[in-house]
Amino acid sequence: MTPKVEHLVVDTSAFIRNTQLQEIAENLFTVAEVVNEIKSKRQLRRLVVLPYELQLKDVDPESVAAVKAFSMKTGDYPALSSTDLKVLALTYQLHKEKLGLDGIKTEPTTNKSIEAFDHSLISSANVVGFHLPSSEVPDIDEVTKKLGSLECNGSDNEEEEEEDEEEEEYDSDPPLDDDDWITPGNVADAKRELSGAAELSEDSPPPKVACLSTDFAIQNVLKQMGLSVVTLEGLLIRQVRTFILRCYACFKTTSLMDKVFCPNCGNKTLKRVAVTVDNEGKEVIHINFRRPITSRGKKFPLPKFKGGKHSNNPIICEDQRVPQQRPSKVALSKMNPLEPDYIAGVSPFTVRDVNSRAAVLGVLPGGEVKYWMRKNPNQVVKRRRKK
């Protein structure tokens, strides 16, 4: 029987793959944002008739702040959405409630590669297990004498060749390997893998608090914090990594993962790369040169910048001034007929602003959404031809 996790935090991937979570956990938790991410009608119907109880739990601001600070140190913060941060924070919160803060790390571990063998020159010739030929060249006369004393027996060689041919006939078939085939012994494991079941080791005891996710960024943060991870279909990271930002224009690096523009040259050319520390204490950057650099926003020329209170210009530098998108004074004005300064004869009805530029653009009072961020001005729209 597969061991069960006592408290399991579930990500969206478990509901998308229709994983039977009641077989791997006793108590299931998630956040409301995970349920809101499910848009398919089939998956929504499954959520209505779940064969287990799914508990929606709120996350403390302290847990979110702790997870956010740790993901900034590992370099996974740009790859995590707000829902991912809440899933991580809920796992951290449950671990703190059930097991305490013992075992949870506050600083990520730095990968350090150490050579297991010293590749120095070996001067001694008497090394156990190795044959080191001597540098002395044998005399030619001794070699010719040894060759002259050799006897050639043709009949013995023919018999040996016939025996070798007979052995090759029997051994010509390759050995059978049942690891890649579905047999009665591994049919249960194959069904569990095809159905998207979570992987738990039967030898080791199950963790008390764990998180089920197939997102590699979430797994990297969980493993470095010391929290348990449950995966689906073998989608588990092999080793933890630390990431930094590298500019492919000036080749400078920065550990500030919330940066969009390069602190050195000011261009929007930052790319996330993995970094390790070698045995000498130097940072080694691992760059994936097979992955091409995206050309989004670089193919078409930028539109001409416009001024005004409601301009819509692309952001090309870090210290660019942007409009505040304030509504007009008429829209902000309010009439209160009960106030002492109210003048009789003025209409007590509220005046609605419909003619100003702010009203035409949809800038409403109290709105915090920056409307210049909603669309990409560098995107070319295909226009229809008039018939």
Paired residues of 367 in beta bridges: none
Q: Which two tokens stand for residue 55?
A: 């508990």
Give the 3-state secondary structure of 271-312: EEEEEEECCCCCEEEECCCCCCCCCCCCCCCCCCCCCCCCCC
Which of 124, 144, 121 is CA-nearest to residue 134? 124
- Please name the residues in contact with 346: beta carbons below 8 A apart, sequence gap of 6 or more: 335
178, 1 contact by CB (below 8 A) = no
Which of 84, 59, 68 is CA-nearest to residue 219? 84
Start-to-end Cα distance in the chain: 69
259, 340 contact by CB (below 8 A) = no
Strands of 209-212's sheet in order across: 54-56, 25-30, 5-10, 209-212, 228-232, 198-199
Annotated binding site: 247, 250, 262, 265
Paired residues of 286 in beta bridges: 274
- Please name the residues in contact with 217: beta carbons below 8 A apart, sequence gap of 6 or more: 76, 79, 80, 84
- Its sign, for the CA torsion 165, 166, 167, 169, is positive
Annotated binding site for Zn(2+): 247, 250, 262, 265
